[in-house]
Amino acid sequence: MALAEGLQQIQAEQEYMRMRERAHRNTSESTNARVLWWALIEAGALLLMSVIQIVYLRNFFENKRASNRGV
């Protein structure tokens, strides 16, 4: 009887560990997906700010050059 009970206890422990691994895997995959989306949004924002700065500086120097010609 003790051997059968020990075997059942081991099987129950294995099932519990599988369930925990599944939960932790889901948490890990969810976190990885969030990190990926955050990195993509951050890269997009960086690219957008770079374009805005280029356009702003180009306009600034073109206006400055046009005002110097008029003098």
- At residue 70, φ and ψ (nearest 5 deg) are -75, -15
Comparing 42 with 71, the larger pLDDT belongs to: 42
Q: By percentage, how much of the chain surpasses pLDDT 90?
A: 82
Mean pLDDT of 23-37: 98
The pLDDT assigned to 66 comes to: 77
Q: What is the CA radius of gyration of the chain?
A: 31
Mean pLDDT of 29-55: 98
Comparing 70 with 15, the larger pLDDT belongs to: 15
* Count of alpha carbons within 13 angstroms of residue 50, beta-carbon side: 6
The pLDDT assigned to 14 comes to: 98
The pLDDT assigned to 70 comes to: 62
Rounded to the nearest 10°, the torsion over CA 54, 60, 65, 70 is 150
